[in-house]
Amino acid sequence: MARRNRFLSGRKINTSPIKKNATVTHLVEEYFQAYNAGRLSEACRLFVTKMLQPDVTIGMSLTGALTPAGLGGSCVVPLMEAGFVDWIVSTGANLYHDTHFSIGHTLHQGSPFMDDRILRKEAVIRIYDILFNYEVLLDTDDFYRTVLEAPEFQMMMSTAEFHYKLGKYFDARERALKRKHKSILGTAYRCGVPVYTSSPGDSSIGMNVAETALYGNRCQFDVLADVNETAAIVLEAKQTGGRSGVLIFGGGSPKNFLLQTEPQIQEVLKIDEKGHDFFIQFTDARPDTGGLSGATPSEAVSWGKIDPDKLLDTIVSYIDSTVAMPIITSYALAKRKARPLKRLYHKREAMMNRLRRAADLAKRKTARKKRI
């Protein structure tokens, strides 16, 4: 009897017809078999079987216009409520556009093949194939400027603290309007999920903060606090016997900010650490152009961002996030029970204390080595 080839040990390709009304779970497990469908299936399985273990702290990054497409309320919110996401790094734009729904506005499906000169005359904004009235932007700006007048915003703060304070207003507004939509920031406030923006000036939220500063408002972003707080979250996970995982939609600055926590711990603070334990990314960016968005997990190993011993627990699926996010969300909610909320926002001070102690210890060790 011929010996079985070790390269042919994988599951046989399934060619049976897809049945009508097939579930997302069934499609992922039986019909997403190769190419980027195969990587999406692997990502779903890795997320559910390993990353959602109780000891894993999961950070998510959001890039691209995801919330205008409805993915904030439909996907990010359920993931937070289920305890499947513990902290977030997002573009400010995603948080800003999510606000439209919270304050009672609607966005509409359209076409990417419209004459934008006519849209401009009709005061219609286009995000590829999503359309909405220009007044939506103006009302959202007014909402932010009104909220920013509150006394609790008259100080310098990390973006997590800024977003938490905003979340209280989102929560109140959503309750008052009795709408089905739940916002990212309102949910983060209720669940204690810290939300960071790596480039807070690069969005309409930051633009409105800048406008109020012209007239004496004292709200400022402490971006250095963001760097240390996010590093403290990862160190807390690792030094308390847990693990760290990252779930990346898109790339850009939020991806780097999520991953640079480990170089901050190892390279800058000199704390003995090995990198994130799990890595899932959905992207359309190529690695050969040199951009961070397309940088692979193996490249991240060279920076200390990913534990070299955990490279097998990393997956990149080259697929649009608007396709991947609903699928992995639905699959996770179907396969796993909710995890207890870690409520990391409320543990920031304790985590920062741990980071300071570890950094001080590492500094003393480095000084001793230099003397020797």
Q: What is the mean pLDDT of the chain?
A: 94
Find the helix or strand (DSSP H, E) in which 43 lies: helix 35-46
Name the more confident of 10 and 186: 186
Note whether residue 111 is domain-resident: yes
- Ramachandran angles phi, psi of 18, nearest 5°: -70, 130
DSSP-derived letter for residue 363 is H
- Give 265-286 pLDDT, tens digit per residue: 999 999 999 999 999 999 998 8
SS3 191: helix
Note whether residue 345 is domain-resident: yes
- Give 188-245 pLDDT, tens digit per residue: 999 999 999 999 999 999 999 999 999 999 999 999 999 999 999 999 999 999 999 9
Q: Has residue 1 got a pLDDT over 70?
A: no
Q: Has residue 4 got a pLDDT over 80?
A: no
Note whether residue 135 is domain-resident: yes
Note whether residue 18 is domain-resident: no
Q: Has residue 40 got a pLDDT over 90?
A: yes
- Give 196-209 pLDDT, tens digit per residue: 999 999 999 999 99
Note whether residue 4 is domain-resident: no
Find the helix or strand (DSSP H, E) in which 288 lies: none
What is the pLDDT at residue 2? 58
Note whether residue 29 is domain-resident: no
Note whether residue 184 is domain-resident: yes
What is the pLDDT at residue 315? 92
What is the Cβ-side half-sphere exposure of residue 273, based on CA atoms within 13 angstroms? 37
Note whether residue 19 is domain-resident: no
DSSP-derived letter for residue 270 is -
- Give 59-90 pLDDT, tens digit per residue: 999 999 999 999 999 999 999 999 999 999 99
Q: Please identify which of the residues 165, 182, 238, 305 carries the catalytic annotation.
A: 305
Q: Of 101, 123, 124, 63, which is closest to residue 246 (Cα–Cα)?
A: 63
- Give 83-97 pLDDT, tens digit per residue: 999 999 999 999 999
- Ramachandran angles phi, psi of 202, nearest 5°: -95, 55
For residue 38, what are the domain limits? 34-371
What is the pLDDT at residue 21? 92
DSSP-derived letter for residue 51 is I
Q: How many domains does the chain have?
A: 1
- Give 292-327 pLDDT, tens digit per residue: 788 888 888 888 888 888 888 999 999 999 999 999
What is the pLDDT at residue 372? 67
Separation CA 328–CA 332 (nearest Å)? 6
Reported confidence tier of residue 50, pLDDT bands at 50, 70, 90? very high
Q: Which residues contact residue 60 at a Cβ distance below 8 angstroms, ignoring those fewer than 6 apart? A: 76, 79, 85, 87, 88, 89, 246, 247, 248, 249, 258
Name the more confident of 6 and 353: 353
- Give 140-159 pLDDT, tens digit per residue: 999 999 999 999 999 999 99
What average pLDDT does this structure show over 120-126?
Answer: 96
| Residue 238: active-site member | no
**What CATH number is given to the structural domain containing 147?**
3.40.910.10
State what percent of residues in the chain have pLDDT above 70: 99
